[in-house]
Chains A and B, each alone.
Chain A
Amino acid sequence: MAESGSGAADKSVQVKLVLLGEAAVGKSSIVLRFVSNEFQANKEPTIGAAFLTQKCRLEDRVLRYEIWDTAGQERFHSLAPMYYRNAQAAVVVYDVTKASSLEKAKSWVKELQRQANPNIVIALAGNKLDLVQPSSSSSGATSMPESEDEADDATATPGEAAAPGEQPESLRQVPRDEAEAYAKEAGLLFFETSAKTGEGVVEIFTEIAKKIPIEHILASSRGTGRPGAAGRSGAAQEGGVSLEENGAKGKDACNC
């Protein structure tokens, strides 16, 4: 089904997704990679939250992600509830080269699990994977953690390139196992990503799409026009419905 086709509008499901995480872990870069498949200077500085949309195809269904990319600075924390309320999905991002960012991510997860929509699908994403992969250093790109994702652009300060002899893996502060174990325990989707190379970014959004109880959103968004409320009442009854079932039911719902 073509996204531009007239049928697509019918079947496109709106999903509100919020990105959370410590400052400069690459939230905005992940969004940019997903939305426009670019990696570059941030055209939109994040004040409160930046708002972007992107369509995503899943089987015969089109999801329209409404992405709220929140500001990472600590003092904006108290504004976050404004953005994650009614969200059906959240991507909590940390930086694999910065252990403290995982701690912050955990506290976001806790907060979401307590305060947000109870059926919210949460994904944990360890970003800046390129910094700890041998392959990326060969590309010769600048690899200082500071100048990475957030600040990296055409005007990146010269002389900040990583020391060539540095072992990439030594930059890693969050072992994959540890983060993955935590994600499993907390019931989160887990990814390691690089907004720079694009690795793992699209996967986040497709996996989330699979896990979201689409037909409920669809059904109730027709009724009330409020997808947030729909998600809430929706998956409460049936938790892990398989994707196939989802699709089938959704289709039926559409045809009637």
Chain B
Amino acid sequence: MSTISTQLRTFKEPTKEQLTQLFFSIPPSITARSEKDGLERMEINAVLSLSAEAEEDSYAGKLYLIPPFLSFASLDRKSCRFTLPLCTIRRVERLNARAGIYALSLSLWHGMKIVVQLTSLRPTADLFCSMLRDALKAELQHGQMKAVRNFVKTCYSETLVLSTSPAAEEELEEKTPQEGQEGSPSNDTPYHVGLGLKFKFPGDPKKLREASKVKLWTTYLKTHGRNLTLLRYPQCTRLVQVGLPNRLRGEMWEVLSGSLFLRFSNPGLYEQILEDNKGRTSTSTEDIEKDLHRSLPEYSAYQSEEGISALRRVLQAYSFQNPELGYCQAMNILAAALLIYMSEEQAFWLLEVICDRLLPGYYSTSMHGTLLDQRVFESLVQKCLPIIHDYFQEVDVQLSVASLPWFLSLFINSMPMVFACRIIDCFFCMGPKVLFQVGLAILKINGEELLKIQDDGGFIQLMRSYFASLGNSAHPKSPDPRARAITRFQELLLVSFREFAIITDDTIHNERRKFRSEIVFSIESFSKRAAVRNLKSLERFTKEQAGFIYDALYRAMCVVPPPAPVMTPVPSLISDGNEEKPETRIGLRTFRVFLSEVATWARDEKVIINGFQQRVDREVAEHEFIDRLFYFWDVSCKGALSFQDLVSGLDGVMFNDLMENIEWFFNLHDKNKDGYLTKDEVLTLSESLLFIFRFEIGDAYLGAVSRFMTNAFEYGDALLPQPEEKGEEDDAPLPDIGHNQPYLNLATFRMVVLADEILESFFETDLSACFKLEPVPMMDLPSSNNGFLGDLISNIATDDNKKLFNRFTDRIGQTIGKHQVIHRPAIGRYTKLDEPKARESLLTPSMRQSPSTSPTSATDAAVRVPSPSSVSTSNLSAAEASKISPLSMVKNANDALMERPQFAIDDALDDDGDTDDEFGLGEDDGVMDEVDAFLEAHDSGLTEEQRELAKDLLNAKPVK
């Protein structure tokens, strides 16, 4: 496992707005465009009625303007709903009805007329209307209205509805079964078709009662709109539950899942993606090739090149579109099933909706969505079927061994195709909760048998034989022929939707939230273990230490995410499958953060005391020295470091003794590795030392570095080969040695270092000791807290707010004179200002006096670096105090608290007040939910009078 992903940490709970959008299957990519145009969203209470022809009840609910869509959901969120692209609205009229009634009549593309009565206060309704007008105008400007005409032609429903005179209906009934033998049904059909039309649909059309289903749907689609304008009344859901007719199935999947909108708003993109990536290969395309021939291999289309290449194109296009996810086994099976019923383009967009929205994270590289939902499923089993759950625990059977493929391939791989398709029908219509409901029902129906199994294998086998028997009668021995006619599959659906109706979208949402951090944690620790295990070499570290290095790396990656791992190009010689795996490598910016975690001098730590709190502000240091280290460790010259590079790099410095450290430091600065430092490099080296020592207390280190420079240049000059002994030593000194010429070798460097006690001790222990491998406090996971309060806390305790609070307390601290900032030293050997004596120079006084210009520039360098003691305005004695006794800090804080002026308290209270406000708001929400629930419990929420009114409105004349 050579890639490290921090993606799981970036997860954010969806907002209420996003949840609404999710509910209406509106793709975020489409609304984003309207948001750019500055179109806003709004929701309003409304009563929906449909023109008399359709004979539908009126429903009270909410109308949502989510440009470029208009959506409606009845109060119970399931009886009645629609999602209409604004461009399908041909006409909007304000109705002239009784006083005090505010109603709009909308004429839709397919000729239906719906009336929405806005039941909110008048100004609200006015606002809604004007916003609707703006949004409609914008759509008109984008030319979307024109696009509708051509688009609907690609939908089978158009042909179906238009061609069904009674005579045509009969013909259809006759023809359907033979469709398969007719060969290619002329490729010039205006509408999209799947492979099934040519290669037959699974199942017996007679048995599936295709003809009568088609009839029912035709009637429904005529009066309730179709494709872009489908209005979903209870009848629609019922029809879906008895199974979609094969020829309409593809389109209905698109419509119900909302992928139709993606296809509508991205015309030609699918072909474009394929064209742009022609001939490109990747890990994903390789994986896809391997699986093409084992995706529903029993279906005839996938034994022919036609089917295989369609499958290949769809999967490849998706992997190009979403390279981060790429391709995951099981997607092949999914895509293969989709392609039976829909065209490549349709399947492509539906795949997008599935991977992105319906089964989020299922197929990602960490498969966190899969793992999470398996955990959720287990928890639901524990709640709903405790006996089975307990028994499984007792015999140590893992639910996931069977249920994982159910979820991952939407039962396609588990059940006969005809049944799986019907579950998928419901899945697209009612959402992901269906998978959980069906899963629970399977366990419940097999409850008795399940309590006899002994191990995972027995579980799998029981499930297998159950799935094989789905077509059998559920009550074979019943005397009632009608009961006998009920298949086990029908029983399954019945149990799923009756007994497990308690499983709602909210249930799933809440359960996911509950277990997300647990799953993320286990994935992360798993990949950490794997990463450490897969290191080519641990060097001299223990596994635990390598784990700390990993933690630091991980944390750094969270702060500064590195670019996505790239494939290293394959060397042509060993091109045969010997490619390197993509590997996570970090760039310089991430490296700085990493180093700041492990090396004390690579961070600027300020201890801040402001009377309220004592905190340590840590910032990542930037210095040429750190960059130098980065390239020094980049042994493979990739401009980026892998985990292994970091481990090996740290190994090179953390276990060194005095001599090794001196050599290491020397090599680090010897850029061309010729064994000599140039004069410039000596200066750089000195600057590196000054950087490391920048926060040390006292002048000792500064002195040491300046002595080092003096000695280095004196010694270097003295030891130079002197062929050009023309002038005397007091001549212009050594003009021949350029700044880039070899100047100081290791032996000399070593001698100069050893001449100084401070440097000696630095190289002996401190340099290595500056690298500290400690448990890195891991950042909190987003929303690891449960429930409402947890939300609140995570809302408040964001980094930004913390910073705000810190700034606030700092300001108060400053006003009350308690504000102190102390830089924490990297080494901290000296806590007092006394300066140790320098060792005698190795050189004789006469040599020492030899004039040299270079040292001057060196001292310049030293001067440029501010002396450590003057860096901050901090009070050094306080620093000592804080080191020695943290208790005194507490005392300080307490003192400050007592002295605190009144306004500070007020402000603090204000802070609390905000909290309460938010709390209150949330509670209101809760109340509203209850009201909703109450209303739901009391029918559609319409009084007889309102119903009358709604009927009246249908016949009302428009104003002007």
* B457 proximity list for chain A (CB < 8 A): 14, 16, 51, 53, 66
Contact B404 A79 (CB under 8 A): yes
Q: Is B577 an interface residue (CB 8 A)?
A: yes
Q: Is B293 touching A226 in the complex (CB atoms < 8 A)?
A: no
Residues of A69-95 at the interface with B, using a CB-CB cut-off of 8 Å, are 71, 73-79, 82-83, 85-86, 95
In the bound complex, how far is the Cα of B526 from the Cα of A83, in angstroms? 15
Please determine whether A86 and B578 come into contact, CB atoms closer than 8 angstroms: no
* B765 beta carbon closer than 8 Å to chain A: no
Q: Mark B246-287, 1 if CB is under 8 A from A, else 0.
A: 000000000000000000000000000000000000000001
B329 within 8 A of A: yes
Residue B409, interface by CB 8 Å = yes
- Say whether A150 faces chain B, with CB atoms less than 8 Å apart: yes
**B367/A79 in contact, CB under 8 A:** yes
A187 an interface residue at 8 Å Cβ cutoff?
no
Say which residue of A76, A107, A110 sits within 8 Å of B329 (CB atoms).
A76
Say yes or no: A100-B578 contact (C-beta < 8 A), given A151-B292, A225-B454, A228-B396: yes
Which 9 A/B pairs are nearest by Cβ-Cβ distance? Answer: A42-B294, A66-B457, A47-B405, A45-B294, A48-B404, A51-B460, A98-B577, A24-B290, A73-B329
Q: A42-B297, A79-B404 are in contact. Are A47 and B533 (CB under 8 A)?
A: no
A76 in contact with B303 (CB, 8 Å): no
When the two chains form their complex, are residues A155 and B303 in contact, meaning their CB atoms are under 8 A apart? yes
Report A35-65 residues with CB < 8 Å from chain B CB. Answer: 41-43, 45-49, 51, 53
Indicate whether A153 sits within 8 Å of B405 (C-beta atoms), given known contacts A47-B333, A76-B367, A225-B454: no
Question: CB within 8 A of A73: which of B287, B289, B297, B308?
Answer: B287
**Contact residues of B with A, CB < 8 Å?**
1, 287, 289-295, 297-298, 303-305, 308, 328-330, 332-333, 363-367, 371, 395-396, 398, 400-401, 404-405, 408-409, 413, 454-457, 460-461, 523, 526-527, 530, 533-534, 574, 576-579, 581
Q: Are B398 and A82 in contact (CB under 8 A)?
A: yes
Q: Say whether, besides A42-B297, A45-B333, A151-B289, A78 and B534 are in contact (CB < 8 Å).
A: no
Cβ–Cβ contact A155 & B304, under 8 A: yes
Additional A-B contact list (20), CB under 8 Å, known A66-B456, A75-B328, A155-B305: A14-B457, A41-B293, A42-B297, A47-B409, A51-B461, A75-B365, A75-B366, A82-B401, A83-B401, A107-B533, A110-B533, A111-B533, A145-B577, A146-B290, A151-B294, A154-B303, A155-B303, A157-B305, A227-B455, A228-B396
A16 to B255, CA, bound (A): 46
CA distance A171 to B704 in the complex (A): 63
The CA-CA distance from A226 to B453 in the complex, in Å, is: 11
Can you list 9 A-B contacts (CB < 8 A)?
A42-B297, A45-B332, A47-B405, A75-B364, A100-B578, A107-B534, A146-B290, A155-B305, A225-B454
Inter-chain CA distance A248–B168, complex, in Å, is: 78
List chain A residues, Cβ under 8 A from B527.
Answer: 78
Report if A173 contacts B (CB, 8 A): yes
Given contacts A47-B329, A110-B533, contact A226 B578 (CB under 8 A): no
Q: Which residue of B lies closest to A100 (CB)?
A: B578
The smallest beta-carbon distance between B898 and chain A, in angstroms, is: 55
Known: A41-B297, A226-B396. A151 touches B330 (CB 8 A): no
Q: Nearest chain B CB to A4's CB is how many angstroms away?
A: 18
Query: With A and B bound together, what is the CA distance between A99 and B578 in angstroms?
Result: 6
Of A71, A79, A83, A225, most B-chain CB atoms within 10 Å: A79
Does A23 belong to the interface (CB within 8 Å)? yes
Least CB distance from B424 to A in Å reads 16
Query: What B residues does A150 contact at CB under 8 A?
Result: 290, 294
Within 8 Å of chain B (Cβ to Cβ): is A142?
A: no
Residue on B nearest A171 in the bound complex, by CB: B576
- What's the nearest-Cβ distance from chain A to residue B142, in Å? 39
Determine the distance from Cα of A50 to Cα of B367 in the docked complex, in whole angstroms: 18
State A100–B283 Cα separation when bound (angstroms).
Answer: 14
A interface with B by C-beta (< 8 Å): 14, 16, 23-24, 41-43, 45-49, 51, 53, 66, 71, 73-79, 82-83, 85-86, 95, 97-100, 107, 110-111, 114, 145-146, 150-151, 153-157, 171, 173, 225-229
Contact A153 B297 (CB under 8 A): yes
In the complex the two chains form, what is the Cα distance from A43 to B578 in whole Å? 28
State A217–B290 Cα separation when bound (angstroms).
38
Q: Is the CB of B404 within 8 A of A47?
A: yes
CA distance A209 to B890 in the complex (A): 69
Query: Whole-angstrom distance between the alpha carbons of A98 and B286 in the complex?
Result: 14
Chain B residues with CB below 8 A from A97, complex form: 576-577
Q: Is the CB of A23 within 8 A of B290?
A: yes
User: What are the residues of chain B within 8 A of A229 when measuring CB–CB?
Assistant: 396
Residues of chain A contacted by B577 (CB below 8 angstroms)? 95, 97-98, 100, 145
Question: Bound state CA distance, A145 and B577, in angstroms?
Answer: 9
Residue of B with least CB distance to A104: B581
**B333, B395, B460: which contacts A226 (Cβ < 8 A)?**
B395
* Residue of A41, A111, A156, A171 touching B294 (CB-CB under 8 A): A41
Q: Is the CB of B395 within 8 A of A225?
A: yes
How far, in whole Å, are A41 and B302 apart by their CA atoms in the complex?
A: 12
| Complex-state Cα separation, A78 to B524, whole angstroms | 10
Q: How far, in angstroms, from A78 to B371 measured CA to CA in the complex?
A: 9
Given known contacts A78-B523, A155-B303, A155-B308, A73 and B366 CB-to-CB distance under 8 angstroms: no
| Beta-carbon nearest neighbor of A227 in chain B | B455
Q: In whole Å, how far is B422's beta carbon from the nearest beta carbon of chain A?
A: 20
Contact A43 B292 (CB under 8 A): no
* Minimum distance in angstroms from B332 CB to a CB of chain A: 7
Q: Quick one: closest B residue to A85, CB to CB? A: B398
**What residue of chain A has the Cβ atom nearest to residue B367's Cβ?**
A75
A151 near B404 with CB under 8 A, answer no
A16 proximity list for chain B (CB < 8 A): 455, 457
* Complexed CA–CA distance, A85 and B456 (Å): 11
Chain A residues, CB < 8 A from B328: 73, 75
Q: Bound state CA distance, A91 and B559, in angstroms? A: 41
For A158, give the chain B residue with the smallest CB separation.
B305
* B408 contacts across to A, CB distance below 8 A: 47-48
- On whether A173 and B576 interact (CB within 8 A), knowing A51-B460, A78-B367, A78-B526, the answer reads yes
Q: Are A45 and B295 in contact (CB under 8 A)?
A: yes
Q: What's the nearest-Cβ distance from chain B to residue A181, in Å?
A: 19
Q: With the chains together, A73 CA to B401 CA distance in Å?
A: 17
Complex interface: chain B residues within 8 A of A111 (CB): 530, 533
Interface contact B413-A45, CB-CB below 8 Å? yes
Docked CA distance A145–B429 (Å): 43
Question: Which among B308, B405, B455, B530 is the interface contact of A77 at CB below 8 angstroms?
Answer: B530
A contact residues around B409 at 8 Å (CB): 47
In the complex, A97 Cα to B454 Cα: how many Å? 40
Chain B residues, CB < 8 A from A51 = 401, 456-457, 460-461
Contact status of A45 and B291, CB under 8 A, knowing A78-B367, A78-B526, A145-B576 = yes
**In the complex, A23→B364 CA distance in Å?**
17
A155: which B residues are within 8 A, CB to CB? 293, 303-305, 308
Whole-angstrom distance between the alpha carbons of A39 and B298 in the complex?
16
Kindly state the separation between the CA atoms of A207 and B405 in the bound complex, as whole angstroms.
Answer: 32
State in angstroms the CA–CA spacing of A71 and B527 once bound together: 18
Separation of A218 and B270 alpha carbons in the complex (Å): 58
Which residue of chain A has the shortest Cβ distance to B398 in the bound complex? A82
